[in-house]
Amino acid sequence: MNTVVITGCTVADGRAATGADPVPDAGILVRGERIVDVGRREDVLAAAGSVPGEVTHLDLGGAYVTPGLVNMHTHLSLSLPGTAGDQVKDMNPHELALYMADGARRTLDCGVTTVRCVAEKDHADFALRRAIEAGRVPGPRIFTAGRALVCTGGHGHEGTDTLECDGADGLRRGVRSQIKAGADLIKVMISGGIAGRHESIDTPQLFADEMAAVIETAHAWGRKVTAHAGPAAVIAQAVALGLDCVEHGYQLTPEVAAQMAARGTALVPTLLVTRCKEFFDELGVPEWMQCRSLNAGPEHLESFATAVAAGVEVLLGSDMPPFWGFEGTNATVRELEHMAEVIGPARALYAATLGPARWLRAEADIGTVEPGRYADLVAMDEDPLASASAYRGVRWVMKGGQVVRSERKAP
C-alpha cells in the first residue's frame, strides 16, 4: 500500500461555506486510496514517520488544495442537433466506447474527479464505469442514471440515451430497467427543453400519475430521481410528489423555489446552456436551437437567483461535456464561475464538492479533505475561496491516491 505525504499547501473545502477555516501550511497523509490525516504540516509529518514502509513526499510549492470537483450534469455521449452531434450519433458501439473513454480521461485531467451522468447512449456508461474502476482507463468516479426516461416523442427521444415510456406502468418498467442495468439514480424528462424541435421549454410531457410512478418506484429501490424540467408549474407538481432534484429550472417562481427549499429538492442550474453561442457554433447547432437557448438566458439567470434567495440547494453541473474548452477554461470551471457570480466563491466551492457528495449519499467517501475520504484532490496557485476562477489554474490532480496530472508551479 503506497503512502504519500503532501506538504507545501493550504487546504480548503466546501465546509468553508459554513464557517470552517482553511488550513495553512498544511500536510495531508494518504495511504492507499484514502486520506488518513490532515492538519498542520509538522503534525502530519510526525504521523507519517510512524507509518511502516516507504513514504513518498510531495511538496506542492504553496498551492491551494481542495477536493476534486463533482460535475452533477454530465453527458459523455452528448449529441446535440447539428453536424458534430450527427457524427456522434453515427458512431458504432466500439467507436462510442472509445469516444466516451477519451472524454472521461479529459474530464479527470481538468480536476473533475466525480461525475453524475444523466443520460448516456447504449448503456456504454456502465461499461466505462467498470473499466475505470478496474484501472483499465483513466477517468472520474461515475454515478449514472443510465438512459433517461421520456414519453413517446418527448424531450430527447431521438437518441439511444433515452428510453420511451408511456403510462404509469410503462414508466415503472422504465425505472426498473435502468436499475437492473446498474443505475445509481433515475433521470426523467418532465417538460420540453432547448434541444427539441417540436416542443417548447414549457411543454408538459408527463401526467401526474406517470411522475408519481417514476418517483415512487425509484424511491422504493433506494434511488433518487432528478428531472429535466423548465416551467414552474410542472416543477411544482413533481416536487409535491417527492422529486429529489431539478435540472435546468429555466422558469422558476419565488413560490415554487420556496416549495423546493421546504421539500429539500436540489437544483442543478446548468447556466452554460443558455449562454454558450461559441460552443453551439463549434458544433454546428442549428439557428432555431441557438435562438431558443440564448433567448432563454435572462430568465434562466433570474430563475437561478430566485432559487438561491429561497434557500434551494444548488449544485454544479455543466451539461456541456465537463472537459470542453470554452471561454479560456473548461466547461466545468466556466459553469462554476457563473454560479459564483450569484452565490460567491465559498458557496460555489460547496456546490462543486460537498453539496454533490451529500446528494449522492457519498459524503463518507468524497467531497471534503478529511480522514477516511478518498484522496481525490486538486491543486492550484490562486485561492478558490477568493475567486472561483482559481480553478482555471488547476495544475495537479490526484484521484484515489494516484497523481494523474502534475505540472510545475507557474513562474
Strand partners, 398: 377, 403
**Percent of the chain whose predicted confidence (pLDDT) is above 70:** 100
Question: What is the model's pLDDT at position 75?
Answer: 97
At 319-346, the pLDDT tens digits run 999 999 999 999 999 999 999 999 999 9
Rounded Cα–Cα distance for residues 51 and 216 (Å):
49
Classified as helix, coil or strand, 399 is strand
Give the domain 3-68+367-406 fold.
Urease, subunit C; domain 1 (2.30.40)
> Given this chain, do its domains 3-68+367-406 and 69-359 carry the same CATH topology?
no
Strand partners, 185: 224
Nearest of 167, 198, 202 to residue 299 by alpha carbon: 202
Q: Does domain 69-359 have CATH number 2.60.34.30?
A: no
At 374-403, the pLDDT tens digits run 999 999 999 999 999 999 999 999 999 999
Cell of 4: 504519500
In our burial notation (b when 16+ CB lie closer than 10 A, e otherwise), range 200-230 reads: ebbbbbbbeebbbbbbbbbeeeebbbbbbbb
Question: What is the model's pLDDT at position 183?
Answer: 98
What is the identity of the amino acid at 160?
T
* Alpha helix stretches (DSSP H) within 184-296: 208-220, 232-240, 254-263, 277-283, 287-295
pLDDT at 308 over 80: yes
Where do the structural domains in the chain lie, given as residue ranges? 3-68+367-406, 69-359
- Confirm if 382 and 393 have CB atoms less than 8 A apart: yes
CA 219 remoteness from chain centre: 21
pLDDT at 101 over 80: yes
At 185-230, the pLDDT tens digits run 999 999 999 888 888 899 999 999 999 999 999 999 999 999 999 9
CA dihedral 374, 145, 336, 307 (to 10 degrees): -120
CA dihedral 192, 196, 201, 204 (to 10 degrees): -20
- Rounded to two decimals, the pTM is 0.96
pLDDT band for 1, please (50, 70, 90 cuts): confident
